[in-house]
Structure 1
Amino acid sequence: MLVQRLGAPSDFDPLLERARHARIVMLGEATHGTYDYYRLREQLTRRLIAECGFSFVAVEGDWPDCDRVHRSVTAAPRGSADPLTALERFERWPTWMWANAEVARFCRWLRAWNVDRPDTARAGFHGLDVYSLWESMQAIFDYLGEEDPASLEAAQDAYRCFEPYGKRPEEYGLASRFVSARCEQEVVRLLARTRQQAASDGADRFSAWQNAEVVAGAERYYRTMVAGGDDSWNVRDTHMADTLDRLLDRYGPQSRGVVWAHNTHVGDARATDMAGAGLVNIGQLARERHGERAVLLVGFGSYRGGLVAAPRWGSPAEAMTAPPARPGSLEDRLHELMPERAVLVFGGADQPGWVTGTLDHRAIGVVYDPGLERQANYVPTRLGERYDGFVWCDETTALHPLPALATPGELETYPAGM
């Protein structure tokens, strides 16, 4: 194991050396609202793009929202001249995950990097998640209305199937338990049509196909969610892994992708108690599909500090303070052993027991109550198996959300708000 004190972007060199041989680099976060994670992840991603030739960034966000950002950072037609404008249009709660000053700074850098490069060499920005059923339906209508009116019927049939449930797809999922309310056949027709169209080259065609994949994934997700249990988690993470693979195919055989998502998605689930519950995640799926040498998984963590989260589902974001980590936890151990900031790279035969053994590892979602810190928010983890590297910040500060009018978000499942 290697430990590198972290003080400047050049201190990421040990991770960059490992990343040079990877096709996929996943960068995590222990919360969705910590400035330090976003800032350090940004610095590392800049180097991956500029020095290692990575092709795109794919985040734990919705495809339609992120597609507007993608058009801006790649200077594509109909794209905003300033990525900040696209980020300010994020409406689905929790908006602060991506509509924040830290992501805006990165996206402005990415646009500046791209505009001096050929169109085919520009790095993209995409969303992996499954929640944007209605937004994706609207995007499909917009595309088909201009490019393929003959296919509108399939989209209209799918829309009419969901329409009785308003814009609350979880109500569709509930209804599907008791009556013949499933929209599977209509969604399959829509997906087949857009998949066929996507065989022709073109970014708009690919985006329409991906929006249809989101509709299909959302239909499965909400139907599974109301059935109880944790299966909807697997539907969601499998959808994100499939989207990542489609992006790699889209960018070509030499393409390479960076993923930004919570540690619970990035760190290999087989090295946690998630495996005992039958849960998988995108880190595990990427290793299984592409091989461990082609995938670099990097977790992030801290001992205490500021963050942005909400006290209840759908409520406004607040600046909060995470108390010192639970005694005996991984974070408590790192607080004793590590400098204030450090990069850890795992491997070799000399790894200490706290790397190879099982310790509780903190995980905070978009809903957080610091008063319940000792009872929740920890995932038993074998650190050296879950990640290939780890970025440590002893104390953190909260990120800076952009002003946004949030609409209620769809329900999410275990681990809550990840």
Structure 2
Amino acid sequence: MSVRDIGLHFGDDPAGFASALDRLLDGFRPAPALLGLGEPTHGAAEFPRLRNEMFRHLVHHHGYRSIAVESDLLAGTAVDDYVTDGIGDLDGVLATGFTHGFGALSGNRGLVAWLREHNADRDPGERVRFYGFDGPFEITGAPSPRAALSAAHAYLAEHLPRVPYDAGDLDSLLGDDGAWVDPEVMTDPAKSVGATEAARALRLLADDVLAVYAYEAPALLRATSDVAYFRAHAHARTARGILRYHAALASTSPERLPALLGLRDSLMAEHLRTIAAAEARRGPCLVFAHNGHLQRARSRMPWHGVPEGLHWWSAGALTAASDLGDRFAFIAAAHTGGDGPRELAESHGADAVALVSAPG
């Protein structure tokens, strides 16, 4: 089905847009827990504007209580604290709560300001929450796992009588943070520390720490709160993801770059599944990212020297293949004037397409 087929064309007719969106949502069986909205490129103001208008309608008319965007989950907790409890200030959370430079986008400023205004006079259970769902990865590489792993371990140490390892074990294996963030590592695997004995030991340690979150979940939830557990658990998942990424950075395999892309999206998919579980009793979540991170079709990136490009499975494809299945739905957005909606839906593996007029 194409959104255009039922009249959803984002432009100057807000009422018609909302009506078409309602008909689209009424046709989903079952109703999605995660509704993805993709954009074909980053930085174009019209797609965040589409997202913001769509999300306001979803909140007011369809019970949506959260939004997840393509930005680091851990950094995004600062935005969530601001929009739900008024902690911090708008400029501060835009600077620290978004990654990839997305805090500078006017659409994100508008989104965060609206969320804070909307939540200000609502009970905690009715407040709309904000999530990132990306890992802390940039085009230049990955960070040291220290912050994520130390936070995950410290939470366990504070609330359980016994935990695997101690803080000294972590520090001795982590070594100098500078070795983890060498900017040349993306082009020179030999500069990576991901294959060292210490890094391999840290991957085992991180896996052991993450396992505790599964088998001690009842005790941890009783000792703290749903939100505290969710965030600490996210630190543990992220630490494991960072260490996997560093291991792939050290590889000399021709599949090195597709593996890095796949590892990033697999962590995104893990985060999305935990967000869906956390929000299950409150309402659905709108997920906003590049089409390439949400489509069910295999993703492709052009790459110099690789005629066929780089291929990997996106977070959307991985989520659709998980136990969420058809409770993940995806609307691909595109500019008018290109391929028709049916062709776009087929090429992206999308349930629908939203066509947006290019500025000018």
Query: What TM-score does the superposition give when structure 2 sets the normalisation length?
Result: 0.76
Comparing 292-301 with 150-159, which one deviates more in the overlay? 150-159
Change (3 A) 1:160 1:190: farther
Change (3 A) 1:17 1:198: farther
> Secondary structure at the residue paired with 1:25?
strand
2:176 partner amino acid: P
**Which residue is equivalent to 1:246?**
274
Change (3 A) 1:206 1:22: closer
Change (3 A) 1:85 1:185: same
Kindly indicate whether residue 221 of structure 2 is the aligned counterpart of residue 221 of structure 1.
Answer: no
2:21 pairs with 15, 21, 33, which one?
15
**CA displacement 1:97-130 (0-9 Å, x = unmatched):** 2343321211121122223332123221112122
**Which residue is equivalent to 1:163?**
175
> Secondary structure at the residue paired with 2:209?
helix
Comparing 138-147 with 284-293, which one deviates more in the overlay? 138-147
More helix by share: 2
Kindly indicate whether residue 232 of structure 2 is the aligned counterpart of residue 208 of structure 1.
Answer: yes
1:20-99 counterparts in 2 under 5 A?
Answer: 20=26, 21-75=31-85, 79-80=87-88, 82-90=89-97, 94-95=100-101, 97-99=102-104
Is 1:268–1:281's contact at 8 Å kept on the other side of the alignment?
yes
Q: By how many angstroms is 1:64 displaced?
A: 2.3
Structure-1 separation of matches of 2:94 and 2:353 = 28
1:232 partner amino acid: L
Stretches of structure 1 that go unaligned for 5 or more consecutive residues are: 304-330, 335-343, 345-350, 357-381, 398-418
1:321-360 counterparts in 2 under 5 A?
Answer: 332-333=338-339, 354-355=343-344
Structure-2 separation of matches of 1:113 and 1:395 = 29
> Secondary structure at the residue paired with 2:357?
strand
Q: By how many angstroms is 1:35 displaced?
A: 0.8
**Which residue is equivalent to 1:301?**
334
Q: By how many angstroms is 1:91 displaced?
A: 7.7
Kindly indicate whether residue 350 of structure 2 is the aligned counterpart of residue 387 of structure 1.
Answer: yes
**Which residue is equivalent to 1:263?**
291
Q: By how many angstroms is 1:147 displaced?
A: 5.9
Change (3 A) 1:184 1:98: same
**Which residue is equivalent to 2:140?**
none
Structure-2 separation of matches of 1:205 and 1:156 = 23
Is 1:302–1:396's contact at 8 Å kept on the other side of the alignment?
no
Alignment identity in percent? 21
Q: By how many angstroms is 1:156 displaced?
A: 4.6
Structure-2 separation of matches of 1:75 and 1:117 = 10
Stretches of structure 2 that go unaligned for 5 or more consecutive residues are: 137-142, 303-307
**Which residue is equivalent to 1:282?**
315
Change (3 A) 1:243 1:249: same
1:181 pairs with 188, 199, 207, which one?
199
**Which residue is equivalent to 1:310?**
none
Query: What TM-score does the superposition give when structure 1 sets the normalisation length?
Result: 0.66
1:175 partner amino acid: V
Structure-2 separation of matches of 1:296 and 1:150 = 42
**CA displacement 1:248-286 (0-9 Å, x = unmatched):** 222235642211111110122348699996621122122
Structure-2 separation of matches of 1:271 and 1:62 = 20
Is 2:73–2:134's contact at 8 Å kept on the other side of the alignment?
yes
> Secondary structure at the residue paired with 1:224?
helix
Comparing 146-155 with 47-56, which one deviates more in the overlay? 146-155
Structure-2 separation of matches of 1:250 and 1:61 = 18
Structure-2 separation of matches of 1:66 and 1:196 = 26
**CA displacement 1:299-352 (0-9 Å, x = unmatched):** 22237xxxxxxxxxxxxxxxxxxxxxxxxxxx5445xxxxxxxxx5xxxxxx5x
Q: By how many angstroms is 1:25 displaced?
A: 0.6
Q: By how many angstroms is 1:18 displaced?
A: 2.6
Q: CA RMSD in A?
A: 3.4
2:259 pairs with 225, 231, 253, which one?
231
Is 2:301–2:311's contact at 8 Å kept on the other side of the alignment?
no
1:33 partner amino acid: G
> Secondary structure at the residue paired with 2:321?
helix
Kindly indicate whether residue 134 of structure 2 is the aligned counterpart of residue 129 of structure 1.
Answer: yes
**Which residue is equivalent to 1:104?**
109
